[in-house]
Amino acid sequence: DVKVTQSSRYLVKRTGEKVFLECVQDMDHENMFWYRQDPGLGLRLIYFSYDVKMKEKGDIPEGYSVSREKKERFSLILESASTNQTSMYLCASSLQGAGYSTFGAGTRLSVL
């Protein structure tokens, strides 16, 4: 069963901590995405990557960075976590030029 796996379902961090959210896909997909989802705002794209070591900013990249050293793994980094980064984070992947995205189960991050 093909899938996108996010390393944690729930995470609690302190303000100022460096936070790593990991995402791994086993479908050999070229494209990978990080979204955050907030009530009343829907899903918003933070960063995406269309190839190893390639990255593009999405709609809300401020306060985040990403890393894609291997095709199957896409990491989201919060350099210095802040309370306004408390949210649900969703990773997704898709084939180059394809339509469907496959989503991970999400990581609910609380920054205290």
Partner 1 sequence: KNEVEQSPQNLTAQEGEFITINCSYSVGISALHWLQQHPGGGIVSLFMLSSGKKKHGRLIATINIQEKHSSLHITASHPRDSAVYICAVRRGAGSYQLTFGKGTKLSVIP
- Interface residue list for partner 1 (CB under 8 A): 31, 33, 37, 40-45, 48, 50, 56, 58, 88, 90, 92, 94, 97, 99-106, 108
CB 79 → partner 1: shortest distance, Å? Answer: 23
Write down the least CB distance from residue 53 to partner 1, Å.
Answer: 16
Cα angle 77-2-110, degrees, rounded to a multiple of 5: 30
Closest separation between CB of residue 43 and partner 1, Å? 4
Given the complex with partner 1, which of 26 and 79 has the nearer CB atom? 26
Q: How far is the CB of 63 from partner 1 (least distance, A)?
A: 19
Q: Select 28 or 79, whichever has its Cβ closest to partner 1.
A: 28
CA dist 31 and 70 (Å) reads 12
Q: 83 or 97: whose CB is closer to partner 1? A: 97
Q: Is the dihedral of CA 85, 62, 44, 52 positive or negative?
A: negative
Residue 61: count of CB within 10 angstroms of its CB: 15
| N residues, the chain | 112
Closest CA to 34 of 18, 52, 22: 22
User: Which amino acid, 74?
Assistant: F
